[in-house]
C-alpha cells in the first residue's frame, strides 16, 4: 500500500501569511493527489485534485503543485476562514490512503 506523509503536523500562522504544506508518497503516484480541508464537526471539502487543479468554487489563494512523490499545498494569503485541518490523499490505485493531516492554527 502507498503511504502518505504530511509535514508539518501542526502549523501556526497569522492572517495574511503565505503557508505551505508538504505531502510525500512512499512511491510514485504521478499526479493522482488531492487536498482536502476539514473543519471541526464537518465533512472534508475538496480543494485541489490531480495535484494542481483547483476545485470549482475554491478561492484562488489555494494552489497545489508536485508530481511523483512530492507535493505541496500553498495558501498565498491566509484568511480567517482557512484555519482548519488539511489532508492529502492519493488516488493512484486502491487502497487509497490519506496523510495524517496538518492542523493550521492561528498564531
Partner 1 sequence: QVQLVESGGGVVQPGRSLRLSCAASGFTFSSYGMHWVRQAPGKGLEWVAVISHDGSNKYYADSVKGRFTISRDISKNTVYLQMNSLRAEDTAVFYCAKDIAETTWGGASFDIWGQGTMVTVSS
The full DSSP string for 16-37 is T--EEEEEEESS--TT-EEEEE
Q: Is the peptide bond before 96 cis (omega within 30 degrees of 0)?
A: no
Q: How far is the CB of 8 from partner 1 (least distance, A)?
A: 14
> Which positions from 47 to 86 touch partner 1 by CB under 8 A, shown as an x/- string?
--xx----x-------------------------------
Q: Is the peptide bond before 95 cis (omega within 30 degrees of 0)?
A: yes
The one among 21, 32, 73, 82 contacting partner 1 by CB under 8 A: 32
Query: Is residue 11 part of the contact set for partner 1 (CB under 8 A)?
Result: no
Q: How far is the CB of 40 from partner 1 (least distance, A)?
A: 10
The one among 92, 104, 106, 107 contacting partner 1 by CB under 8 A: 92
**Which of 87, 86, 78, 85 is closest to 107 using CA atoms?**
78
Cβ–Cβ under 8 Å, residues 8 and 100: no
Q: Name the residues that contact partner 1, by CB under 8 A.
A: 1, 32, 34, 36, 38, 43-46, 49-50, 55, 87, 89, 91-101
Amino acid at each position: 500500500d502507498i503511504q502518505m506523509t504530511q509535514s508539518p503536523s501542526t502549523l501556526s500562522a497569522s492572517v495574511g501569511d503565505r503557508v505551505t504544506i508538504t505531502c510525500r508518497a512512499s512511491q510514485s503516484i504521478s499526479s493522482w493527489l488531492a487536498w482536502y480541508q476539514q473543519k471541526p464537526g464537518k465533512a472534508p471539502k475538496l480543494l485541489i485534485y490531480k495535484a494542481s487543479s483547483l476545485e470549482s468554487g475554491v478561492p484562488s489563494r489555494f494552489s497545489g503543485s508536485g508530481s511523483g512523490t512530492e507535493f505541496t499545498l500553498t495558501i498565498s494569503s491566509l484568511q480567517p476562514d482557512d484555519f482548519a485541518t488539511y489532508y492529502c490523499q492519493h488516488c493512484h490505485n486502491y487502497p487509497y490512503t490519506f496523510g495524517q493531516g496538518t492542523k493550521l492554527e492561528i498564531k
